[in-house]
Chains A and B, each alone.
Chain A
Amino acid sequence: MSINDELIWQQLNGQFCSFKAKVQTQNFCRNEMNVTGLCNKSACPLANSRYATIREIDGRCYLMVKTIERAHLPSRLWQKIRLPRNYAAALSKVTEELEHFPKYLQHRNKQRLTRIHQYLMRMRKLALRSRPTLTTVKKKVERREDRKEVKALAAAKLSKSIEAELLQRLKQGTYGDIYNFESTAWNEALDKEQQAQEESEDEDEEELREMIEYCEQSESEDEIEDVADRLSEPVVPVKKRKAPSSRARVAIEYDDEDSEAEAEPVAAMAF
């Protein structure tokens, strides 16, 4: 403690200090070397030629020590001692370095070290956690997307495409034998019949032709009469003879599709 310190403090306290921040209850200090942040004589980094503080620079702690022997070299005024990352090791290093310093500074520096370690830990934790961020909603883009959505909905023809898809599934046999539609079988039967009819017509014609040939060859009148009788009978199309009297006779068979559906589980369809 030199007389110089006393002079400086009187000047700063009584006159003016650019680091001083006055509030109603007390004065604070804005100097980054201040160990407590309070404006009083023992904590003032300017009015103490023997001083120590702890600073955090880029996540690392440094012990800054100022001694009276360095007072003549402002650029080397502060000795910068890097503290270990480990809290306990850093604390013992501070104890060791500040062995002959006033008790007040030793105590305050340790407190400051603890505080810095706590906030660094908290910072790391917060950095890991994702927090909600506010983002801008671009109105113009939103408006454009809304407009496109309306158009896409119109182009989708939802009910039509859903109906088509369901019918497709019905046709594929996804629903197994839940549905028993006559019309499918009915239409199939009709088609088959048509084929059969065409074939039988061909056969009829052939038969007729044979008979006529036969008539031409035979000489017996009876036979000719017989044939004439047969010919005079209307050639009833097979269709009419076979016309189904009741639809109940028609059984639905999805043989092919069914076997496929069984082979492949329905679940595969749903995906």
Chain B
Amino acid sequence: MRAARRRSILLRTPSRIGACTLPVIAHSNTAAALDAVDAQASSSNTITAATMGRTRPTIGNKQQRAKIWAREKTQKREEKDKRKEQRRKKRSRQHDLLRDGGELGEGLEPALQPRTLENTREEEPTRVLEGDAEILRDEADDEFAAHEYREGFSGEPHPDFVPPKVLVTTRPRPSKELFRFVADLISVVPNAFFYPRRHFSVQDICRKGSEQNFSHVIVLSERAKKCNGLILSKLPHGPTAFFKVSNVQVSDSVPGAGRRTEHQPEILLNNFTTRLGRRVGRMLSSLFYSKPAFQGRQCVTFHNQRDYIFVRHHRYIFEERPVDKRKRKVIARLQELGPRFTLRLRWLQDGTFDTKFGAYEWLHRRKQMDVSRRKFHL
């Protein structure tokens, strides 16, 4: 492997030194090889354009140097402005043509797209393609499949369908502020019940919970009276995820928040594209009864953007609006119901909560994973 890389470096060198011919170097030391090449280049006195560009003559006088540099800079700027202006004009001409119903034919310039972290994201090898049969089958067979609504013969739920039942608890001795968040959470998640933590360990709670047929356990943690963590464990066999929680806004503090109704909300999962992302998305959505009551017009959104999962709760309404004199279109309007909060996955564990002996499916290792800011995992 290393030898191959070294060879590739050697192969790349000719382009670096332009026209000079490269002797076949069967030397293991790359630096020595490069020295040899340089020596040959200087001996044959072939200075090419490539080498000239690299070695710019320095101007001794500082004032002169500054003047020349400044002149070059303005020149560059002017050229760029000119190019921009030309482009703008061309585009506006094209736009006018299109508006008047003309044909553009060839040479339609696409609008320049700004470079964002999303469109320059590093390719994730586990990205799931649309309708990948293997993955769909995998998902139909995973821990959350039992909570997907299925209908039996007589229109009733299928006997294999298990409606989720969620146990919500907190750290020991929670603050008053945390209770407000808990209240919000159990009203958003249908079939969720709060149990005071008392002296029980999370493992005890998981054990008792699965004995009492709970399907999920949520444990909230806090620091300085602000919720900062959420353990979500699927009972009885896992997996367990730990999320960092930030920017919690309970319903009361969401501006213009409406009152929610008892209807089962719809779930929107946005941007969960990788295997891990889809698993986390399925885990979060399995908290909800997957047959929504559409007449309630409520939706809970888990929107993943750059590995931050934004959780929002809305009521929507579809309305018709006129586009022009004849045509109209349907739009959706939203009213927020609250709460708002953001999740960030820290780890995902096989089995129920066990930080000592549990196996990690995924663990956020900051020093290894946060090297590139264009790399996202969900």
Contacts and interface: CB of A to CB of B under 8 A. Distances in A.
B326 A190 contact: yes
Contact of B299 (A128, A166, A183, A268): A166
A162 B312 CA distance: 10
B328 A187 contact: yes
Contact of B320 (A137, A175, A183): A183
B247 A149 contact: yes
A141 interface: yes
Contacts of B294: 174-176, 178
A35 B295 CA distance: 78
Interface string A130-168: 100000010001000110110111011011011101110
A130 B201 contact: yes
A152 B285 contact: no
A85 B162 CA distance: 48
Given A130-B201, A162-B334, A153 B150 contact: no
B180 to A, nearest CB: 22
Contacts of B267: 270-271
Contact of B329 (A178, A183, A190, A267): A183
Contact of A265 (B144, B151, B327, B355): B151
A170 interface: yes
Nearest to B223: A137
Interface residues of A, number: 42
Contact of B118 (A155, A169, A270, A271): A155
Contacts of A156: 303, 305, 310
Contact of B285 (A158, A166, A175, A271): A271
Contacts of B288: 270
Given A162-B303, A187-B327, A141 B366 contact: yes
B292 interface: yes
A162 B318 contact: no
A155 B316 contact: no
A243 to B, nearest CB: 11
A183 to B, nearest CB: 4
B269 A146 contact: no
B305 A155 contact: yes
A181 interface: yes
Contacts of A175: 294
A152 B117 CA distance: 9
B325 to A, nearest CB: 11
Nearest to B118: A155
Contacts of B268: 162, 165-166
Nearest to A179: B318
B305 A265 contact: no
Given A130-B201, A179-B318, A267-B148, A153 B328 contact: no
B91 interface: no
A114 interface: no
A267 B291 contact: yes
B290 A267 contact: yes
Given A148-B308, A149-B247, A159-B334, A186 B328 contact: yes
A152 B308 contact: yes
A158 B149 CA distance: 27
21 contacts: A130-B201, A130-B355, A130-B356, A152-B305, A152-B310, A153-B310, A155-B117, A162-B314, A162-B334, A166-B268, A166-B316, A167-B332, A176-B294, A179-B318, A182-B328, A183-B329, A266-B291, A266-B292, A267-B150, A270-B290, A271-B282
Interface of B: 116-118, 139, 144, 148-151, 201, 203, 223, 244, 246-247, 266-270, 281-282, 285, 288, 290-292, 294-295, 299, 301, 303, 305-308, 310, 312, 314, 316, 318, 320, 326-334, 342, 344, 354-356, 366
Given A149-B246, A181-B330, 10 more contacts: A146-B246, A155-B116, A167-B330, A182-B320, A183-B329, A267-B149, A268-B148, A270-B292, A271-B144, A271-B282
